[in-house]
Structure 1
């Protein structure tokens, strides 16, 4: 058992290193994207705020953009997302690598799932080896149960990874949106003469200020933090689930079945409850019979005395 536990711990450490190496591929394009965003955000923002027909009709649209923290979707106009627009240079750099990390069915060095699959296969091979050594040759149920348990544990990770993938990807725009929220709120409150131009000025100044204070760098750090959270989530889920598998693997003889759900105590409680209910029902029948007997024997219910 101790040898198996050491084996699993070593494999988990190797998995952590493999995940780190996998996620490390995003660092350089992310850094390059931040540099590109810093040099191009004014041009991109200007293109979003300037309309070929002037400000006619754009005032209300821009106000709606500010009230929605930089995003406005209209049935008649193209969708406006200032946060996404100014972070697009970052996405342009990271998209190929990001897609490669989360791509399923590829064995490239940057892909995550092959490392999960390799970890799964190594555990299954070890369990088969232990099964042969412990005489599971004639207990195919135990062997197949444990191997299927490993597949179920690690198969569930894929759904967890895919759910986190979207949060990681959107962390850039979410970070920028959060930093720009005060300037959106300020611009959204502007009314009166030349309100549209004044709103644009507030947005431009607000973005300039946040960029100078490291807005894109903060977005970079938050994305990297999300990657680290994903790694932590994967390893913690694996450790917790494998602990159950190790308990099953250490069982001897009928030990495996002892680890399965034991319903004896629940069955005894159900029997006890059934007896109690039956006694209540029987008592109710007896009481009803006694009441009927007493009613029949009651003088008030009896007929007039015969003469």
Structure 2
């Protein structure tokens, strides 16, 4: 990479000495833009309620016991998003604090609502004003150069700005870690509720490719009690462990419980996710780690060996992920440099016989471009028609059942029939335009609930068009990967001729463009998927605003009645508009892909094959 960067610097310096010409400026532009091809960092979202051991886990992975505050040294829970990444500029520990703007937080006249006092610590906390904290850790290049660990708090604080940011970051997570105490990992419902309620933001409306369940505090075990538990009592292992010393007995109990936890969590994931959402291929990318940050950092008489704490294995997962993206970035950059140098070498040729060959190649590739674009049009038109049919079915179902679903799940849920405390949830939901996160991280989203039947109609097809992992089937991603205006026969025909230099340049241009399009498709996929919810929210917003102003006696009942009335009177335009918006988004995506490929590649063809030779460009 350093050698390639040095080469680019040297070529740019030589190009600066040449008279200004359109082609020279084009080359300069290509060289300076090479770095933009390096992919963005990968986000790893870390879930877990207060006390689950998230901070201790991250500290152990980083080898920094006090990097993130944890329950051992503070009494308040994490209330904002914390990003942890490598400091690639110096050897200092740095933190960047991003605050909510004055207009978002509505400080004027309300400052008292945005500070709080902790009686134990006697200090003021300004967390409601903070969007995100980014911690940059030195000497972590191999671990975090291309990775960002995102500590996602579950606590909701009725702040629209932070909740919107939380949803946005959630949709950007390529990997998700769910952290929970091993004693409650398999039985506790809360982590699974968080996963289930966040699923659409992570998978269909996001880019999550794998889910990792991390059981913490594996060293926290009472061997006597565990040996007497039904799972071990009267077994051969029980008898074997009884004969060993205290340390070996405890280690044996820890390892047995770890194995059992992995089995039970695998079975539960299959029941909670795979069976409920068969259209999403997640069963092959779920893994479980059983870790002990305490034992990993224990230098005095540890019960577990380093490998048995599974912190090294978890670090290896990050290192492998980081290395894959590092190699990709280097490969793309060097390929780009090689392509541009090939063009410079070809354009510097004095061979007059190439003029006709360049003209022929230009026409062949131009025709091939239109042929390839037609295959993209054909595939996306098919997907569009299929989506339209499914959405129409979803609209009809939504109009029939939306009111009943909204009542049962959000407005008047059976579990909250007496209304105790539920008015706070409903009030928060109305203030936040239909979205609310509870203190345990559970999500209530009336907009998404109203669009539930529409999502049910399209989810399977959407997973075919935009798979969360891989390029199987008739996905747009696969179509872009296979796109090329240079056929195998054409490449073979021009092999070992000066014209191959032009093909080399055009190949790198294609690859660069396809990588850009794949990233853009991923971003637009999220917008398209969420468009159903967004359109529902637009129709519901006047109702939310009116409901948020209700106060006094009977607030809950009045709010519920207002929501029911508005949904019933607005359901027809609500779902018709949602269908229209999603189809428009998909059609716009097709047009964007076609226009980008046509415009960019025609420009590359023109610059390479329509440029005169013998430009007296710099040599070696």
TM interval, shorter chain, is 0.7 to 0.9
1:223-260 superposed Cα distances (whole Å, 9 cap, x missing partner): 000001111111121122112221144247736x78xx
Distance 1:98 1:88 in 2: 14
Deviation at 1:162, TM superposition (A): 0.5
SS at 2:483's partner residue? helix
Aligned pair partner of 2:411 in 32, 43, 49: 49
Distance 1:141 1:6, change over 3 A: closer
Deviation at 1:136, TM superposition (A): 6.0
Is the contact made by 1:136 and 1:143 (CA closer than 8 Å) also made in structure 2?
no
Distance 1:63 1:178 in 2: 18
Aligned pair partner of 2:459 in 95, 113, 127: 95
1:115 maps to 479
2:487 maps to 125
SS at 1:72's partner residue? strand
Higher relative CO (Cα under 8 Å, sequence separation at least 6) belongs to: 1
Distance 1:18 1:76 in 2: 43
1:181-236 superposed Cα distances (whole Å, 9 cap, x missing partner): 0011111111122111011111111111111x421111011000000111111112
Answer yes or no: is 1:73 the counterpart of 2:437. yes
Is the contact made by 2:416 and 2:422 (CA closer than 8 Å) also made in structure 1?
no
Deviation at 1:3, TM superposition (A): 4.8
Is the contact made by 2:433 and 2:544 (CA closer than 8 Å) also made in structure 1?
yes
Distance 1:176 1:197 in 2: 22
Is the contact made by 2:435 and 2:446 (CA closer than 8 Å) also made in structure 1?
yes
Distance 2:440 2:487 in 1: 59
2:526 maps to 166
Which structure shows the higher helix fraction?
1
Distance 1:4 1:189, change over 3 A: same
Is there any run of 5+ residues in structure 1 with no aligned partner, and where? 264-307
Distance 1:218 1:253 in 2: 53
Answer yes or no: is 1:19 the counterpart of 2:376. no
1:276 maps to none
- Max radius of gyration: which structure? 1
Deviation at 1:76, TM superposition (A): 3.6
TM-score, with length taken from structure 1? 0.74
2:585 maps to 226
Distance 1:114 1:74 in 2: 39
Q: Where do 4+ consecutive residues of structure 1 move more than 4 Å?
A: 104-107
Deviation at 1:130, TM superposition (A): 7.6
Distance 2:435 2:478 in 1: 37
- Within 5 Å, give how 1:1-307 maps onto structure 2: 1-47=362-408, 48-50=410-412, 51-76=415-440, 78-103=442-467, 105-106=470-471, 108=473, 110-120=474-484, 123-125=485-487, 129=490, 132=493, 137-138=497-498, 140-211=500-571, 213-251=572-610, 254=613
Distance 2:540 2:568 in 1: 10
Is there any run of 5+ residues in structure 2 with no aligned partner, and where? 1-361
Is the contact made by 2:393 and 2:457 (CA closer than 8 Å) also made in structure 1?
yes
Distance 1:148 1:3 in 2: 18
Distance 1:53 1:105 in 2: 45
Is the contact made by 1:22 and 1:112 (CA closer than 8 Å) also made in structure 2?
no
Deviation at 1:58, TM superposition (A): 1.6
1:113-171 superposed Cα distances (whole Å, 9 cap, x missing partner): 33324432xx1218x628846x8624644332222222222232111101100000000
Q: Name which of structure 1's ranges 43-52 and 81-90 shifts more when overlaid on structure 2.
A: 43-52
Deviation at 1:105, TM superposition (A): 4.3
Q: Let me know the Cα RMSD of the aligned residues.
A: 2.6
Which structure shows the higher strand fraction?
2
